[in-house]
Amino acid sequence: MLDDDDDNDEQIHATQASSHNWIPAQPGQRYTFRDMFCGAGGTSCGAQQAGFRVLLGCDADNSACTTYRLNYPEARLIQGNVADVITSPVSRRVDVLHLSPPCQFFSPAHTREGQNDEANTAALFACSDLVNKIRPRIFTLEQTFGITFADHESYMNSLVRGFTMYGYSVRWSVIQLLTWGTSTQRKRLIIIGSCPGEPLPTFPAPTHAERPARGQKPYMTVFQALSRGRPLPGDIHHQPGRMRRVNRASWNAHQFLPRTITTSGVDAKFCHPSGTRGFTPREIANLQGFPPRYKFSPTQVQKQAGNAFPPPAVKTLYDHLRKWLLKVDRVQQSLPASAHSTAATAISTSSEPGFRLRTRSSANTVTTRRLPTILIIDEEDSGNEDLMAGCNSGSNSSGDDDDDDIVMLDSEPVFTPSGSRESTATLPEFDLESGGESVTQHGAYEQNVTEGVVELVKATESDEVVEISSWRVVGRHATRLSWNLH
């Protein structure tokens, strides 16, 4: 039986009164995983180490795809544009989906226009369509923290709105990856989303710290990261004799890797412990947390490793998500975390996503889609006082419709994050004192206003009601209270 987590129990709606209510695990069964923009497979590596079954990867880079095939021969690989996945007639649902769209355009190091800027931004906005196509229970997204800067506010707003538009609840935070077990001083934006009716997972607590508390470890240093991996005999990516010499009088064994590893290498001050050379490509991969036996294509190893979501950080996140799912599903099971364990290498008993084989608790069976919850966690925030926007009520407003003023929306509600860590929806161009009718590409919207609560009815051109939602209105801003699909 899983250990109880007091912080998480309040956010999981499944009843966990006694162990006899839990479902026994089926032999060989694991939660399923897909990796979009997979690159060399850093996220797949960490997810597999956490006990997930890797079903599919997708990337357009030839060298990265070669590496992925070498390490995940049982997974399907789509080498091409993610648009092929979106337009495919086959959806292939999974439990958890990960997205790592190209981040160069939003990186703080991006100081001039690049030839791939347009394609990279298009890939970012394709993420919501990928989620809607695959419809996972949970998705994660990793991106440079630069997208949270004021210069890119519109991109961040559009990214979040894309997920909530499809009914997903989202939570995000800027994470210092040192706190999740890497040797990299790199901050990344991490987004977690859950489908309608699925409890929204929290973020895992830091596993490493400069001054470790009980249950934590000290930050991983470069020396420690190198020591945990030994190059294989004959490894073409480990030839220190061919590396250029570096004038370095002393070596700091307790240093951390810089924020960015580029294709031209790390800064000279971050040299090998010998003090006489830089790092080999294999050592770069070890520093990023790839296992010593991880295979790489003959070319662009440093680029592949540098672009990867470090496997140790992924394992921390996905260990937490696996335990979260087991609690939600009330599965009495404890999977070994090692990728070399029996559970991690077992073949699934079904080609279908694992969650379909389990009987879901009635408390998690929701016939009404609730409001997508938008949560923002500040980097310094402990995460214990999350603010939830708009899912406090499960019923529509009541009142006499004949006495209600009828007003219309000119367009879809737009989600915009505010500085108070909450998120609200802006209802553009509506007037509580007048009526009217508006038909947009999304259908007709009719609002019945009662004491600050707006009931929004969405219908097709044939007057068939397809959606009813209610909103709490304050000035020109509104928070959605419920969302009923018909």
Residues annotated as catalytic (active site), given as ranges: 103
- Give CA–CA dist 483/370, Å, rounded: 5
DSSP string, 322-343: HHHHHHHHTEE------TTSHH
Alpha-carbon distance values, 26 to 1, 334, 344 (Å): 14, 12, 14
CA distance 57 to 319: 20
- CA 470 – CA 436 distance, rounded (Å): 19
> Half-sphere exposure of residue 421, counting CA atoms within 13 Å on the CB side?
14
The one-letter code for the residue type at 303 is K
Cβ atoms of 423 and 417 within 8 Å: the answer is yes
**Which amino acid would we find at residue 388?**
M
Rounded Cα gap, residues 12 and 224, in angstroms: 37
Q: Which three-class secondary structure state does DSSP give residue 262?
A: coil
CA-to-CA dists, residue 104 to 126, 265, 312, 379, 443, angstroms: 16, 17, 22, 22, 37
* Cα 125 → chain centroid: 14
Q: Would you mind telling me the total number of residues written for the chain in this entry?
A: 486
Q: Which residue has the tokens 């950080």?
A: 313
Token representation of residue 153: 């506010």
Nearest to 83, CA basis, from 120, 44, 129: 129
CB atoms within 10 A of CB 200: 22
- State the DSSP code for 184: B
From residue 24, alpha-carbon distances to 32, 326, 343, 450 in Å are 18, 11, 15, 49
Under DSSP, is residue 112 helix (H, G, I), strand (E, B) or coil?
Answer: coil
Closest CA to 282 of 237, 316, 249, 313: 237
Q: H or E stretch including 188?
A: strand 187-194
